[in-house]
Chain A
Amino acid sequence: MKRRHLEVGRYHGLGTWTVLCFAFLYLPIGILIIYSFNASSLAMTWTGFSLDWYAKVLRNDSIQFAAVNSLVIATITTLFATAIATAAALALVRGGRFTGHTASLGLVTLPLVVPEIVTAVAVLIFFANLNLNLGIGNVIIAHTTFCIPFAFMPIRARLVGMDTSLEQAARDLYSSEWQTFRHITAPLLMPGILSGAMLSFVISLDDFIITLMVAPAGATTLPVYIYSMIRQGITPEVNAISSVFFAASVLLVSIYWLLSRRVMSVPKGTGTSNASGGSRT
């Protein structure tokens, strides 16, 4: 049966096309990584294998300074964005229907819709008018705003799929609201919170245009530093730091992927899921 389905809808060349598409997606990055091992000081001319450029990256104080900035900003941003997003998701999913529900949902997802460059210059104007200069604080504020929807979406998805029967059982057994939240809701929600946190960490770490516009002197992040290196001329050092950055992102995304597969498999309560599903909205 199954086999016949596939044959009916199957078309020639689909597999080849998909292979070409993956080549399109991955070859440029592969070439970048290969060239990072180039001994030549000219990025485009291959002369032999070498790890010199990685050694040079390790010795480059500016790169390390920018990398530390990036990590500090991403960590603090993630804490703020995830906390705000968790509160908002709980309110929106568990709060039932109320006036302002749609407006609030729109607000939380607004940073996804507005083009990044518009957010960047709007925040730049705002900070300039307030004369606000908190160093990396400015960047953290801008990143937190931008990362809230990315943290929000997996948390909300987890909450929507979560059965309330365990929570109801806890309440029936005289646990207080706080106890219920602490021992039932929070642990069940945790995979959603973790993958939301992971997403906002990656988004903050990767962000370039908002940081470029908003960061005051001394708050340079790694992508902004890489951009200034590219502007000065393409050297294998750019390839090396880019490859390291790429590897770090792939690692984070893979962790996120493993977590999110657990988000999909929401533990169901016993039997009452339909009844409680109706009462939630």
Chain B
Amino acid sequence: MISLPRNSRTRTWLGLAPAWLVIGVFMLVPIALMAVISFLEANPYGGVHFNFSTDAYVQIAFEYDLEDNLVFNPIYINIILRSVGLSILATVVCLVIGFPVAYFITLQPPSKRNFYIYLITIPFWTNLLIRTFSWILILGRNGVIETPLLLTGVIDDSLNMMYTNGAITVGLAYSYLPLMILPIYASLERLDFRLVEAASDLYAHRLEIMTKVIIPLSMPGIVAGCMLVYIPSLGAFIAPDLLGGGKRLLLGSLVQFQFATARNWPFGAAIAMVLLAFVVVALMIYARSARKRALIEGDL
């Protein structure tokens, strides 16, 4: 009985107090403040006027024309749709690349597994800016892909691979691939291989073993991996900025642009709130699927 009955409640809260203080004051309060700012009026010279206004949110979908009528403006809606679309695409790319790799690692003897996982985690802990930058050397004009093709005459003009949705997707997938592999590996590692053997003994085809035994049993890892790739992709700044050339904005780079360059704080705050809302929805779907699974597994 290590927990000490005498004033242990006080002690617990004393231990938690610094964390509450720091994260509360420097994270919860700022996010609340940001929510308030998103409902204020923008000052054209930067900063805000302290009047309640929903302009920032209206501005996401509409603009005022010359006669002061609200007309639909698809620019920002397109950015939101592009963010969601490219994030989903990057997630699918990571899943397709990552699942077989996670499965391959599970098939290795334990000592080798650790080394593979170490190799997977290294890129994750090294600087994202540098890793994304290295793709400019590959995709860019006169880059590693183009130069040999130009020299051998396969192509006679630049492929213009940079500043495209494709370049951003590659950048996102490259950034977050380890976050897909690790959770899938974690659930595959716990997979009871006797089930695979049983399926085989019962004349299941290789493909059936994969789709009806291995994939369903690794679902928790797959769902977690998808969340871990999808959520940071939505808010990504570096990949759209470096590989999209700052012209193909995503939600993350749009927020940064509003605060650093356009200086429209209420609008930037409103976009940040939209981004946060997308994340909360994704997390709720995730929590729901986890609860459902817990219920099903509880029944077994």
Contacts and interface: CB of A to CB of B under 8 A. Distances in A.
A115 B252 contact: yes
A25 B243 CA distance: 17
Interface stretch (B63-71, B73-81, B112-120): B112-120
B300 interface: no
Given A17-B101, A115-B232, A122-B34, A213 B259 contact: yes
Nearest to A33: B134
Contacts of A9: 107, 193, 196, 209, 214
Interface in B12-34: 12-16, 18-20, 22-24, 26-31, 33-34
A121 B105 contact: no
A246 B118 CA distance: 16
A193 interface: no
B238 interface: yes
Interface residues of B, number: 92
B144 A31 contact: yes
For the side of the interface on A, what is the size category? 35 or more
Contacts of B114: 261
B138 interface: yes
Contacts of B28: 107, 110
Contacts, number: 273
Contact of A17 (B33, B100, B134, B138): B100
B168 interface: no
Contact of B107 (A14, A17, A213, A239): A14
Interface of A: 4-6, 8-11, 13-15, 17-18, 21-22, 24-29, 31-32, 35, 43-45, 80, 83-85, 87-88, 90-92, 94-96, 98, 104, 107-108, 110-111, 113-126, 129, 141-142, 144-145, 148, 164, 167-168, 171, 177, 202, 206, 208-209, 212-213, 223, 226-227, 230, 234, 238-239, 242, 245-246, 249-250, 252-253, 256-257, 261, 276, 279-280
